[in-house]
């Protein structure tokens, strides 16, 4: 049996793709290798959201290229968002690559693998998805409790900084029947949480007809039997409909957790980013959700140092985190990306030092907000899905997640992993809560 190793550098969608790649290859005689060093076939699944992520892919594959000098039979493939962007430039730049395949070409893999084992060097990048019935293949899920289920892929928003519309293509949704079937299988296999994925998960169904919406999909999934949780990421602020909020409230399995990237707290910067809302509109959406759910967590993403961002405009981002009580935020310094509009505004670029300084200030604000948010839960009881255990000073410390996605540590027996338990929250730090098993 040949052994394949997939290294994944990107977001949840990227991780989900790797699980599908491994599953598909298992049908063609490939076993998963535990370490890259043990594999006959190496695949790097890349992310292009920032230059840093792309550079990581280039340097990693460079290391693999050296291994190939000692092992001529080793096959190396490069896929994911950097592949979709760089195309056959990659074959020229890295002469030891056997295969480059794009985000649209994952399900072409059986044919592509055959060709590289016949000695060909192949670049398979198309602008339209290569369509097969993907439900015929297994999925080798990396986690044993949470199952990622992609429901929509691609993006038509063209925010001026973002590469995703170029690497993932136009927005398209999977049929509800396929998603429900996949969820049913996962639940039967013992998964306790399903997370629906999409670059704009809340615009799910647009291409499929009027009644196909995220809200209705949640209602259908909620009817499946068994004790499990449902989450969905990532939401575009103005695509969160009242019906979606209603569905979250109605459906007991759907968790009170919303990831709604704001990107900037300043309305002029938001307009330059081509986001379809201003500061006030974003605030109104957050308020609407908070008014409905007591223990809800609302998280966000922010970019520091977008071209032309003034110090004052940056301060609006800090104040937005406070004003809207955002529980946690991912942060990044602006990174110019090929093909995107903002990358051409070089005269407005913010210098590296300022960007780094703003990012550090932003990160401090995020930490402060996290601690404040966590402290609100002291004294409350939360339902926790136990995920892992660790020995600490002779004690078994369990870690798990509340419905609102907060991480909670408490002592207990490792046999509780995979179970739902009630925990009383007794303490809070920046990155997690502490509690006592009830």
Q: Which residues would be at the binding site for ligand SAH (CB under 6 A)?
A: 49-50, 161-162, 164, 199-200, 234, 236, 261, 263, 301, 303, 332, 334-335, 337
Give, as one character, the DSSP assignment of residue 142. S
CA of residue 9 relative to chain centroid, distance:
11
Which range of residues in 8-16, 220-228, 357-365, 376-384 is near ligand F3S by CB under 6 A? 8-16
Does 14 participate in binding ligand F3S (rule CB under 6 A)? Answer: yes
Among ligand F3S, ligand SAH, ligand SF4, none, what binds residue 334 when CB lies within 5 to 8 Å by partner kind?
A: ligand SAH
CA of residue 435 relative to chain centroid, distance:
28
Does 164 participate in binding ligand SF4 (rule CB under 6 A)? Answer: yes
173-212 residues in contact with ligand SF4 (CB under 6 A) are 199-200
182-221 residues in contact with ligand F3S (CB under 6 A) are none
Dist CA 170 CA 129 (whole Å): 10
Burial class (CB in 10 A: 0-12, 13-18, 19+), 351: exposed
Which range of residues in 99-107, 111-119, 152-160, 369-377 is near ligand SF4 by CB under 6 A? 152-160
Q: For ligand F3S, which residue of 4, 13, 57, 99 counts as binding (CB under 6 A)?
A: 13
How large is the angle between the packed helices 279-292 and 311-323, nearest 10 degrees? 10
Q: For ligand F3S, which residue of 4, 6, 10, 385 counts as binding (CB under 6 A)?
A: 10
- For 70, residues 6+ apart whose C-beta sits below 8 A from its C-beta are none
Q: How far is the CB of 159 from ligand SF4 (least distance, A)?
A: 3
Cross-strand pairs, 297 = 257
Task: Using DSSP, state whether 29 is helix, strand or coil.
Answer: coil
Mapping DSSP onto H, E and C, the string for 254-323 reads ECCEEECCCECCCHHHHHHCCCCCCHHHHHHHHHHHHHHCCCCEEEEEEEECCCCCCHHHHHHHHHHHHH
Sheet containing strand 229-233, edge to edge, reads: 146-150, 193-197, 229-233
Dist CA 84 CA 165 (whole Å): 11
156-185 residues in contact with ligand F3S (CB under 6 A) are 163-164, 167-168
CB of 129 or CB of 165, closer to ligand SF4 = 165
Among ligand F3S, ligand SAH, ligand SF4, none, what binds residue 173 when CB lies within 5 to 8 Å by partner kind?
A: none
- For the record, the structure tokens of 151 come out as 């429901």
CB of 113 or CB of 303, closer to ligand SAH = 303
Q: Which CA distances in Å does 179 have to 10, 72, 130, 241?
A: 22, 41, 19, 21
DSSP code string of 88-103? THHHHH-TT--EEE-T
CB of 139 or CB of 164, closer to ligand SF4 = 164
CB of 8 or CB of 213, closer to ligand F3S = 8
- For the record, the structure tokens of 55 come out as 């550079």
CB of 70 or CB of 128, closer to ligand F3S = 128
Which range of residues in 108-116, 161-169, 201-209, 239-247 is near ligand SF4 by CB under 6 A? 161-169
CB of 122 or CB of 321, closer to ligand SAH = 321
DSSP code string of 336-359? --TT-SGGG-GGGPPPHHHHHHHH
Among ligand SF4, ligand F3S, ligand SAH, none, what binds residue 187 when CB lies within 5 to 8 Å by partner kind?
A: none
Among ligand SF4, ligand SAH, ligand F3S, none, what binds residue 47 when CB lies within 5 to 8 Å by partner kind?
A: ligand F3S
Q: For ligand F3S, which residue of 24, 49, 99, 398 counts as binding (CB under 6 A)?
A: 49
Query: Which of 246, 234, 220, 209 lies closest to 299, judged by CA?
Result: 234
Q: For ligand F3S, which residue of 4, 6, 11, 90 counts as binding (CB under 6 A)?
A: 11
Residues that bind ligand SF4 (CB under 6 A): 155, 157-159, 162, 164-165, 199-200, 236
Residues that bind ligand F3S (CB under 6 A): 10-11, 13-14, 47-49, 80-81, 163-164, 167-168
């Amino acid at each position: 049996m040949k052994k394949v190793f997939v290294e994944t550098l990107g977001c949840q969608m990227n991780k989900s793709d790797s699980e599908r790649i491994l599953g598909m290859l298992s049908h063609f005689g490939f076993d998963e290798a535990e370490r890259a060093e043990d594999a006959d076939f190496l695949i790097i699944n890349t992310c292009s959201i920032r230059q840093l992520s792309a550079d990581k892919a280039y340097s990693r594959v460079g290391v693999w290229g050296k291994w190939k000098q000692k092992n001529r039979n080793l096959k190396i493939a490069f896929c994911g968002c950097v592949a979709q962007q760089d195309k056959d430039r990659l074959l020229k730049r890295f002469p030891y690559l056997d295969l480059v395949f794009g985000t649209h070409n994952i399900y072409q893999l059986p044919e592509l693998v055959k060709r590289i084992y016949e000695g060909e060097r192949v670049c398979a990048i198309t602008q339209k998805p290569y369509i097969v019935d993907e439900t015929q293949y297994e999925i080798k899920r990396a986690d044993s409790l949470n199952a990622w289920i992609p429901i929509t892929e691609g993006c038509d928003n063209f925010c001026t900084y973002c590469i995703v519309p170029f690497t993932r293509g136009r927005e398209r949704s999977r049929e509800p029947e396929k998603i429900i079937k996949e969820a049913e299988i996962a639940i039967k296999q013992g998964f306790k949480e399903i997370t629906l994925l999409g670059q704009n998960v809340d615009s799910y169904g647009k291409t499929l007809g009027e009644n196909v919406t995220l809200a209705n999909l949640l209602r259908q999934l909620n009817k499946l039997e068994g004790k499990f949780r449902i989450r969905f990421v990532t939401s575009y602020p103005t695509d969160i409909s009242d019906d979606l909020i209603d569905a979250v409230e109605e459906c007991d399995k759907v968790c009170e957790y919303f990831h709604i990237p704001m990107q900037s707290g300043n309305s002029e910067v938001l307009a330059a980013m081509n986001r379809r809302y201003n500061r006030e509109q974003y605030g109104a959406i957050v308020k609407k959700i908070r008014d409905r759910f007591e223990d809800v967590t609302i998280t966000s993403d922010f970019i520091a140092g977008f071209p032309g961002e003034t110090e004052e405009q940056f301060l609006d981002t800090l104040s937005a985190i406070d004003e809207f009580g955002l529980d946690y935020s991912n942060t990044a310094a602006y990174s110019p990306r090929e093909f995107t509009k903002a990358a051409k505004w070089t005269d407005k670029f913010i210098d590296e030092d300022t960007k780094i300084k703003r990012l550090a200030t932003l990160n401090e604000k995020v930490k402060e907000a996290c601690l404040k948010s966590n402290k609100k839960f002291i004294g409350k009881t939360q339902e926790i899905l136990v995920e892992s255990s660790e020995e600490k000073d002779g004690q078994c410390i369990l870690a798990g997640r509340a419905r609102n996605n907060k991480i909670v540590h408490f002592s207990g027996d490792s046999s509780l992993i995979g179970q739902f338990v009630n925990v009383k929250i007794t303490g809070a730090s920046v990155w997690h809560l502490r509690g006592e098993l009830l």
